[in-house]
Structure 1
Amino acid sequence: MKVGFIGTGSMGSLLIDSFIHLGALQPKQILVSNRSPEKALLLAERHPGLSVCSCNSETASESDLIFLCIKPLEFKAVIDEIQSSLRPEQIAISITSPVQLIHLESSLPCKVAKIIPSITNKTGGGATLCMYGSRIKEEDRQLIESLLSYISRPVEILESHTRITSDFSSCGPAFLSLFVEKWIDAAVELTGADRGTLNTLAGEMLLGTGKLLTEEGFSPEQLQERVAVPGGITAQALRLLNGHLNGLFYQLIQTTHDKYDEDLVKLDAAFGFTINRPRY
């Protein structure tokens, strides 16, 4: 099987590195092309055997699966470039969240799917969100999820929930990292504790908490109840946090959806669609 990647920026290169390092693909199975050839050539140096194609059309025509790792407003131009190079039996997989399956199916002759990866996939952890077009068959779905399972837990979602689920799976690591950063900053300033030690402790805490939520069946509420003794230190600190965080996450969701909707309107226009979509 040949797997192509059009776009080798931050997430495209992360997927390629992860698939190779975690044993999903060998470099000789991978073809890449990029607007800046230097980035693609660096990947080829890092992974001997990986093929750098001269153009996106070559990557598309020579691949069985093609990952489209492109920024939203560059998408239509790339689709126009590769559509005549694709065949019905191939599978094109977008990783760009505002790009809709209807955009892809209206423009490409092949099967289409959409995934949302996460930086956590670099470790073989986290989730990859999966959505499938109408031409995808069960064996195609199994092929895609088998590949993704090397680097993540594939989770099928409704396309209408792309943005909110991405807030957790893809944006979540950055949100939690900001919380941890501010917490560590205050701890170092107030107590003089070693930053490196606190960073390690926070990382191990997040790792263990994730396992409690996913492997041990705890809900967030149950976990708080188990840790917080009534009248104790944790319970008092939770009251403080709850008071200050009240309403914040409504604003967070509104902020991420506003940006998503802005890109979606531009993409609908680029692909010639006029659709009145629900807000959430």
Structure 2
Amino acid sequence: MAIGFIGTGSMGSMLVESLIDAQAVEQNDIVVINRSVAKSEALKNAFPKVTIAFTLEELVKKCTWLFICVKPKDMPNLFKELAPLVDTDQLAISITSPVSIADLDLALPCKSCRAIPSILNRARSGSMLLSFGEKCSPKDRDSLTQFISSISKPLHIEEQITRVSSDIVSCGPAFFSYLAQRFIEGAVSQTAITEEEATELTTSMLIGLGKLLEQEHYTLPTLQKRVCVPGGITGVGIEVLEQMVGSGFNELFKQTQKKYLDEKEKLTVEFSYK
């Protein structure tokens, strides 16, 4: 079965790389198209048997599944082009959150679903968020779930928690990478440690933390209790973090939800052309 990728930017190329490395799909079963041909060619340089399509019609004719990896603002016009080309047996898979499943089902005559990836999938780890349209059969659901389980933990979610789930799964690595970088900068600023040394120690610590949680030795609260001895150095640091962070994450989710709702409202208007 041939699989198409419309858009080979950051996430589109990551999915192709991850799926090929996991041997979930053969290179010669992948067809890609991108507005910038250079990005598709860079992917083909890494995986020579991947096919580059130069028109949507060419890609759609060859593929059963169509991963749609373009920016939300580009999707309404893309769907206008796709609608006359796809048939009811094909499956369109959007990787972005602001376009609802209902809008996907209305915009295209084929079956549709959403699969929101995480950069963690590149390490065949983390989750991928799945939501299916009404035209998808149980077989469609099972087939895609099994397919993406080669690079992630599939999680089926409802529409109303799409944004917050994406914030945690997809945006979370960037949020926590930012915090880790500031952690490193603080250590370098206040002590004699070098940035290279602090980065190596922090990276090792984060990998170990992930393994502790994955192997279920501790939960997040029990891990804090185990390390934080009353009156000790860790406790002093936790007090500082409590003062600094406060309700900061409340505001983070408030602002990401607002941005999501604004984008979704604009896209719903654009999709109303039908």
> Into which bin does the TM-score normalised by the smaller protein fall?
over 0.9
Work out whether 1:174 is the aligned partner of 2:171.
no
Q: Map of 1:210-221 to 2, 5 A cutoff?
A: 210-216=210-216, 218-221=218-221
SS across alignment from 2:272: coil
Work out whether 1:183 is the aligned partner of 2:188.
no
The answer for the alignment partner of 1:153 in structure 2 is 153
The answer for the alignment partner of 2:208 in structure 1 is 208
CA contact (8 A) 1:33 1:40 kept: yes
Q: Distance in 1 between matches of 2:226 and 2:136?
A: 44
Cα deviation, 1:142-188, whole Å, max 9, x if unaligned, reads: 21122211211111111211111111111111111111111111111
Q: Distance in 2 between matches of 1:141 and 1:192?
A: 54
The alpha carbon displacement at 1:53 in A equals 0.8
The answer for the alignment partner of 2:259 in structure 1 is 259
Q: Map of 1:89-104 to 2, 5 A cutoff?
A: 89-104=89-104
CA RMSD of aligned residues (A): 1.5
The answer for the alignment partner of 1:30 in structure 2 is 30
The answer for the alignment partner of 1:14 in structure 2 is 14
The alpha carbon displacement at 1:217 in A equals 6.3
The alpha carbon displacement at 1:236 in A equals 2.1
Q: Which residue identity is paired with 1:212? A: L
- Percent identity for Structure 1 against Structure 2: 37
The answer for the alignment partner of 1:107 in structure 2 is 107
Deviates more, 1:122-131 or 1:196-205: 196-205
Gap runs ≥5 in structure 1: 274-280
SS across alignment from 1:43: helix
Q: Distance in 2 between matches of 1:272 and 1:227?
A: 54
Q: Distance in 1 between matches of 2:13 and 2:44?
A: 11
The answer for the alignment partner of 2:81 in structure 1 is 81
TM-score after normalising by structure 1: 0.93
The answer for the alignment partner of 1:63 in structure 2 is 63
Work out whether 1:139 is the aligned partner of 2:151.
no
Q: Distance in 2 between matches of 1:268 and 1:108?
A: 14
Q: Distance in 2 between matches of 1:196 and 1:164?
A: 34
Q: Distance in 2 between matches of 1:260 and 1:173?
A: 18
Cα deviation, 1:55-81, whole Å, max 9, x if unaligned, reads: 123212321111000101100111111
Aligned residues: 273
Q: Which residue identity is paired with 2:219? A: S
The answer for the alignment partner of 1:246 in structure 2 is 246
The alpha carbon displacement at 1:219 in A equals 2.9
The answer for the alignment partner of 1:49 in structure 2 is 49
Cα deviation, 1:170-207, whole Å, max 9, x if unaligned, reads: 11111111111111111112212132232222222222
SS across alignment from 2:84: helix
- The change in CA–CA distance for 1:27 and 1:199 in structure 2 (over 3 A counts) is same
CA contact (8 A) 1:57 1:81 kept: no
The alpha carbon displacement at 1:40 in A equals 1.1
The answer for the alignment partner of 1:198 in structure 2 is 198
SS across alignment from 1:171: helix
Deviates more, 1:181-190 or 1:68-77: 181-190
SS across alignment from 2:83: helix
Cα deviation, 1:59-117, whole Å, max 9, x if unaligned, reads: 12321111000101100111111111111111110001101111110021111110111
Q: Which residue identity is paired with 1:52? A: I
Q: Distance in 2 between matches of 1:223 and 1:77?
A: 49
The alpha carbon displacement at 1:218 in A equals 3.4
Cα deviation, 1:209-239, whole Å, max 9, x if unaligned, reads: 2233343063321221121112221122112
SS across alignment from 1:231: coil
TM-score after normalising by structure 2: 0.95
SS across alignment from 1:31: strand
The alpha carbon displacement at 1:139 in A equals 1.7
Q: Which residue identity is paired with 2:187? A: A
The answer for the alignment partner of 1:278 in structure 2 is none
